[in-house]
Structures are given as C-alpha cells and as structure tokens.
Structure 1
Amino acid sequence: MTAQLNHTIVWSSDQREAARFFAGVLGLPEPGRFSHFDVVPLGNGVSLDFADAEGPIVPQHYAFLVSEAEFDAGFAWITARGLDYWADPGRQQPGEVNRHWGGRGVYFEGPDGHFLELITKPYGKMEDL
C-alpha cells in the first residue's frame, strides 16, 4: 500500500461553526462527531477533523478538487454570503475565477483565516514536478 492521507486536524476558534462552514461550501452533510472532533468526511475517504485551538491559530491552505456542478454550487455559496474571492493565491485578482489547466479555480478565506480553494482540474501534472 502506498501512503494515503487519512485525516487532518483543522484548528479552529469555534470548531462546530468552522466545520459547518467547510461542509456548507462543499455541499456536504452536517458534520458528525468523533471523540472531541467535529468531522467532515470527504469523498476520497479523507476527513477534516475540526478541533478548538488553545491559543493563536496559524492559518493553513486547503484546496478541494470538485466537479463542475460542485464548483457552481460552492461558488454560489461563497457569493451569496458576500465573501471576498480571488483567482490567485497572492490575492492580486479580486472578484475573478481562474481557468488553469482547462478548469476553474477560486480562492477565498474561511474561518480563522484558513485560505481555501475550489478547483475543477488538478494543477499541473505529477511528472511536471
């Protein structure tokens, strides 16, 4: 078996609200509970396990590969809430969507400053790395 990501902890100031935010933008069911975590399972078997942080949170970047329909729904969710969004990670293209590798992509800020991204095509090819 090759290594696979199973889960990651998303540190939050309010884990329940953060988990609901992520589930909402991704069009997923209400988060579940496991131990002291609020859990958002993703379609590839990986889960986002939300936990309350003690102290400052260092924002992370989370990119989600979604279908065209899921992108449309997620983008509608973002715009309905009046969230700022960008076509680039440097935040130099506000209010735009990128079209890299024949797909679409958008960056936006989630709870606690986590920088989130929806993409419909993977960026580049593994052999290009």
Structure 2
Amino acid sequence: MSYVFIALTVLLTVYGQVVLKWQVDLNPGATIENLNPRALLSLLLNPWVVSAFAAAFGASLFWMAAIGRMPLSKAYPFTALSFPLVAVISVWAFREGMDWHKIAGTALVIAGVIVLSRSGIH
C-alpha cells in the first residue's frame, strides 16, 4: 500500500504543476513578476488553480500515509519521478522542447530512482 500512496503523491504533484503552468500561461498578468493584483486575485480564485492547491494538499496527505509505512530514505527518491512525468507532459501539453540534455537528465533521474529503490533498507 505504501507504493500506492507514493504513486498518488507523485500524480497529484504532477497534476498541480501542470495545471498551474497552464493557468499562468493563460493569465500572464497574474504572476508575481508581472504583478497585477486584480489578475493575481482572479488567478488564485480560479477553480483550476484551487484544484491544483487541493492536489498539493492531497499529495501531502498521501505522503504522510506513505512515510508512516516506509522509511523516508526509501520513499523519498520516488518523488523524483515527478520530474520525468512533468517533462514528458510539458512536451505534449505546452510544446516545450526535449533535447538530448533533458533526455539524459530524465534518464539519470529514473536510473537514480531505480538504484535507490533497490537499497537494502526495509
């Protein structure tokens, strides 16, 4: 069950990041950098953004359930799987580039998770 909680943590985290990127791209005046208070408030009250915040909260709850059943040093590396998932979704959803640096980095992250998941910690 620990791995299900970890998977839900990762998936909710990825959901939140992708939704926030999508909504910020639709509302460029709402970022802290280009601060337009009205646009920022509108963004913060946007149901999609609220759902991203709720996903982050849900991810935290599932994370607490996971680390209550598994050593932190064994569970934590799996959170890195959000990086390759976000990278792949970003290429598809936001037309971001995927060059060999990103491919190599993503492969290294995945390899690191595999190596760490095979550690002798039980």
Higher relative strand content: 1
Normalising by structure 1, report the TM-score. Answer: 0.25
Higher relative helix content: 2
Who wins on radius of gyration, i.e. which is larger?
2
